[in-house]
Amino acid sequence: MVSFELSDEQKMIQETCSSFAADHMYPAMREADESGEIPEEIISRGWELGLVGGCIPEEYEGFGEGLNALNMVIALEELAWGDLSMAIHLLSPTVLAFSVLDQGTEEQKKNLLPRYCGEEFKPASSALVEPYYDFCPSAIRTVADRDGEEFVINGAKCLAPLAKESDHVLVFAATNPGMGFAGVDAFIVPVGTKGMEIGEREKNMGLKALATYPINFKDCRVPLAARLGGEEGCDFLRLLSRSRLALAALAVGMCRHALEHSRDYARERVAFGEPIGSRQAIAFMIAEMAIEVDATRLLVWEAAWRCDKGMDFAKEAALAKNYAADVAMMVGDRSVQIMGGHGYIRDNPVELWFRNARGFATFEGMVMV
Amino acid sequence: MIDFELSPRIKATKNMIHMFAEQALRPIARYYDENEHEKPWDLFKMVHKFMGGGMAGAFGASGKEEKAEKEGEPKEKKPRETNLAGAVTIEEIFWGDAGIALSFPGPGLGGAAVQASGTPEQKEKFLARFSGEEPVWGAMAITEPEAGSDTANIKTTAVLDGEEWVLNGEKIFVTSGKSALEYSKGFVVVWATVDRKAGRAGIKPFVVEHGTPGMQITKIEDKLGIRCSDTVSISFMDCRIPKDNILGSPEVVDKTKTEGFKKVMATFDATRPLVAAMAIGVGRAALDFIKETLKEKGVEIRYGINPNRMTVLEREIMQMEADLKAARLLTWRAVWMLDNGLRNDLQASMAKAKAGMAVTRITQKAVELMGPLGYSREYLLEKWMRDSKINDIFEGTGQIQLLITARRVLGFTREQLK
């Protein structure tokens, strides 16, 4: 029966994450963007929210009941309201941990999951995006060829969050090039493996506080057991779709903050003797922003609900993610436009959101629900 | 718990209505577009017979429903989902044909106003007819030649003379006006001012019965789309109606603070998401047509690939699909809130704004993407483009919905944001 009401647990997640975002993340957002550094204290406090360990069952030393996409998109919206870079940094272990939890072999689960259930933040990286203008997850160029008891990985990756700081990178590579999504597998590669070279930290337009890296693979050999899911491999489209849900949810949170900021500014800023929000040109922009933020959230919720119900959700996740990327640009642009010259100045947060917003069309992987 | 699964009851209704739309409406859709002012009477009779108050349930104002409550039948223990059921049903019917669906017999907006703000006696008197043997229509007359969305400018007057109200003025764009007043023993709810100096506070709704002397239909409009539906002008010249035919209190006070006004506004909170559902039905028809055509031609839509690898066609179709779904989810949220007794005026306007604009764009894009097939009257796409445009206009234009949304988001009054 159709309902839009959050469960008590979801309300609690929402409130906890919202307070953390408002009290700790947002106040540090500008400084982090300028310096490129996220204060460790914020990450360690954020880790106490227990979002990763809270999805891992007790048998793997966690304290949760397994993956729950709806709970996670609700958390992600709140965190991205605080700051996008920090949210992705804090949840960087999700791609590896949740992929293993969802599709790993028993051995992979036992070896890896307990690492992300401790009291200390434990980074983990993932490498999906590749540095080509026509990059597409269905046509990944990085390949993993089987050679006896090993896979040999060759190719180039970029936008791998916290690669240098992590012990492991989940690397997506084609085992059957030309087979589209079905031909892609994921490999758990320890940082430092021979043939894997992590480059200098990237300089991106947005997400400046998040450390991301390019990675080159040249005849990088990993054992067969490094393949996610072992001999069977993994359902890559499912993992990709889970990460698309996460990215779309992050876009909703960031856009909501940009909308709220624009709303408050339009109420207070006076021009020609009245608040600029009293003019339809500004008011209509804000109304459309509000409608689209809500629309995107509902698309994300519906796709996440399908995911949790065990229904096919790849199409819904893709539609939600693309929609979110478009809305992020619309909202980001307007939040700058509504502030006029002030929007262009780095004293104000809107230009930062605008830069971050552009990333959603490009990002894939990086976080997961 | 967040849930997007329709209840078995609604699902069953949806399937039934879809079959009806496909088998009974689609085959005659073109005929009643090209033969404006003709009506499918047999269909109406069948609809009336099998669907009771017809669209009544959909508009949340079924005479039958009322009756059932009166007889003290046990109410369902389950949470209410009347409005959700309405939205789902309307989407299916309008998928079949918007013009014909809009002319279905039933209480319509006039009945909804009686349902929302009438006394128990008024409800009995005016709504019982919708459960009778013959199909009956209800209509609503607000718009005037010089007052559309700007209802405060209404010039039609109502003056109390002894035991009667005397109405004078001219109304235009009355949906189903002819059906209500000439084709059946229905009524029209007329909005008139009892005190022009009082502005909006003086504007009241009055029920005017068919055949009342002094009331005359002066024009039937020829329209861009929804041609099966009659849209009329009505003139009132010393039209006398009983004193008790006023809905709500005759007192001229600040309406925004009266229960009556709130109830009337609540009518819009209920009907706007349903107009959104109408739009969505037409938009889905267009999208289904394109997707089926492409499927026949062996063109695959690759949903999972990155936008930079998509063809223009894929990008457009995905955008149309996401827009339509977004509009539907906003609509479902608005009706769900209503079913659960939550204030939904903001969400109702959001849904209407989104659906009206999205579907206007979707149907126009659909015509464009199908090339000569889209432009040809051999197919229904061009008709859907014409039909859908009304959803961005009636029950408050898209711009009015944005204005209401903006006021609520900004926390501005009508005076602060004009």
Long-range contacts of A133-137 (CB under 8 A, 24+ apart): A133/B308, A134/B308, A134/B309, A135/B306, A135/B308, A136/B305, A136/B306, A136/B308, A136/B309, A137/A172, A137/A181, A137/A184, A137/A236, A137/A240, A137/A364, A137/B304, A137/B305, A137/B306
- CB distance A137–B409 less than 8 Å? no
Q: With respect to residue A258, please indicate whether it lies within any of the assigned structural domains.
A: yes
Q: Is the pLDDT of residue B325 over 90?
A: yes
Residues of B in contact with A306 (CB under 8 A): 4
Of the candidates A202, A254, A250, the one whose C-alpha atom is nearest the C-alpha of residue A36 is: A202
Each residue's pLDDT tens digit, A202-215: 999 999 999 999 99
Is the minimum CB–CB distance between B4 and chain A shorter than 8 Å?
A: yes
Phi–psi pair at A189, nearest 5 degrees? -115, 120
- pLDDT value of residue B201: 84
Strands (E), B30-182: 138-141, 157-161, 164-175
CB within 8 Å of A64: residues ≥ 6 apart? A53, A54, A55, A56, A57
- CB distance A315–B412 less than 8 Å? no
- pLDDT value of residue B71: 47
- pLDDT value of residue B78: 60
For A361, which residue in chain B has the nearest alpha carbon?
B307
Q: With respect to residue A369, please indicate whether it lies within any of the assigned structural domains.
A: no
CB A159 within 8 A of CB A198: no
Intervals of CATH 1.20.140.10 along chain B: 258-410
One DSSP character per residue, B361-385 reads: HHHHHHHHHTTHHHH-TTSSHHHHH
> A19 and A135: one domain?
no
Q: With respect to residue A368, please indicate whether it lies within any of the assigned structural domains.
A: no
- pLDDT value of residue B61: 39
Each residue's pLDDT tens digit, B334-358: 999 999 999 999 999 999 999 999 9
- CB distance A263–B325 less than 8 Å? no
Give the type of residue at A115.
R
The single-letter DSSP state of residue B133 is S
The Cα–Cα gap between B142 and B145 comes to 10
| Dihedral of alpha carbons B244, B245, B249, B253, sign | negative
Share of chain B above pLDDT 70, in %: 90
> A87 and A202: one domain?
no
- Residue B138, SS3? strand
- pLDDT value of residue B254: 62
> A206 and A272: one domain?
no
Place of tokens 């030649």: B145
Q: Is the pLDDT of residue B59 over 50?
A: no
Q: Is the pLDDT of residue B58 over 60?
A: no
Intervals of CATH 2.40.110.10 along chain B: 138-253
In the CATH scheme, what is the code of domain B258-410?
A: 1.20.140.10
Place of tokens 């991106």: A204
CB B228 within 8 A of CB B40: yes
- pLDDT value of residue B149: 77
β-bridge pairing B187-193 and B203-209: antiparallel
CA distances from B318 to B116, B311, B381 (A): 39, 11, 18
Of the candidates B17, B185, B309, the one whose C-alpha atom is nearest the C-alpha of residue A364 is: B309
**Mean pLDDT of all residues in B267-286:** 93
The Cα–Cα gap between A276 and B308 comes to 37
Q: Is the pLDDT of residue B53 over 80?
A: no
Q: Residue B251: which pLDDT band, with cuts at 50, 70 and 90?
A: confident
* Of the listed ranges A230-234, B69-73, B328-332, the one predicted with least confidence: B69-73
- The angle that helices A314-338 and A280-309 make with each other, rounded to 10 degrees, is 160
Of B78, B308, B325, the CB nearest to A299: B325
Task: Measure CA B270 to chain center.
Answer: 9
- pLDDT value of residue B200: 82
Best residue of B6, B84, B325 to probe chain A, by most A CBs closer than 10 Å: B325
Residues of B in contact with A181 (CB under 8 A): 304
Give the type of residue at A119.
E
Q: Is the pLDDT of residue B75 over 80?
A: no
Q: What is the CA radius of gyration of chain B?
A: 21
> A186 and A248: one domain?
no
Q: What is the CATH number of the domain that holds A176?
A: 2.40.110.10
- pLDDT value of residue B260: 58
> A258 and A329: one domain?
yes
Q: What is the CATH number of the domain that holds A26?
A: 1.10.540.10
Chain B: closest CA distance from residue A119 (Å): 30
**Which of A116, A149, A172 is the last residue in one of the domains?**
A116
**Which of A214, A232, A250 is the last residue in one of the domains?**
A232
> A352 and A286: one domain?
yes
* Of the listed ranges A47-56, A212-221, B124-133, B194-203, the one predicted with least confidence: B194-203
Taking only residues 298 to 357 of chain B, the set having a beta carbon closer than 8 angstroms to any beta carbon of chain A reads 302-309, 318-319, 321-322, 325-327, 329-330, 332-333, 336-337, 340, 347, 350, 353-354
- The domain containing residue A299 runs over which residues? 236-361
Each residue's pLDDT tens digit, A289-303: 999 999 999 999 999
Strand partners for A356 = none
Task: Please identify every residue of B annotated as catalytic.
Answer: 395
Taking only residues 14 to 73 of chain B, the set having a beta carbon closer than 8 angstroms to any beta carbon of chain A reads none
Of A4, A136, A287, the CB nearest to B309: A136
Strand partners for B137 = B106
Q: What is the CATH number of the domain that holds A308?
A: 1.20.140.10
DSSP H helical segments within B2-107, as ranges? 8-20, 26-34, 41-50, 63-70, 82-96, 98-102
The Cα–Cα gap between A210 and A42 comes to 13
> A226 and A245: one domain?
no
Of A2, A263, A280, the CB nearest to B4: A2
> A189 and A138: one domain?
yes
Q: With respect to residue A367, please indicate whether it lies within any of the assigned structural domains.
A: no
CB A14 within 8 A of CB A78: yes
Task: Please identify every residue of A annotated as catalytic.
Answer: 364
The Cα–Cα gap between B20 and B28 comes to 12
β-bridge pairing B138-141 and B187-193: parallel
Burial of B14 from C-beta contacts in 10 A (0-12 / 13-18 / 19+):
middle
β-bridge pairing A212-223 and A150-161: antiparallel
Q: How many domains is chain A built from? A: 3
CB A150 within 8 A of CB A223: yes
Place of tokens 């982090």: A32
Q: Residue B199: which pLDDT band, with cuts at 50, 70 and 90?
A: confident
ipTM of predicted assembly, 2 dp: 0.96
- Which CATH architecture fits B138-253? Beta Barrel (2.40)
> A140 and A206: one domain?
yes
Q: What is the pLDDT along chain A (369 residues), one digit of tens a residue?
A: 999 999 999 999 999 999 999 999 999 999 999 999 999 999 999 999 999 999 999 999 999 999 999 999 999 999 999 999 999 999 999 999 999 999 999 999 999 999 999 999 999 999 999 999 999 999 999 999 999 999 999 999 999 999 999 999 999 999 999 999 999 999 999 999 999 999 999 999 999 999 999 999 999 999 999 999 999 999 999 999 999 999 999 999 999 999 999 999 999 999 999 999 999 999 999 999 999 999 999 999 999 999 999 999 999 999 999 999 999 999 999 999 999 999 999 999 999 999 999 999 999 999 999
**Which of A116, A146, A177 is the last residue in one of the domains?**
A116
Chain A: closest CA distance from residue B301 (Å): 10
β-bridge pairing A168-174 and A125-127: parallel
- pLDDT value of residue B55: 45
CB B149 within 8 A of CB B164: no
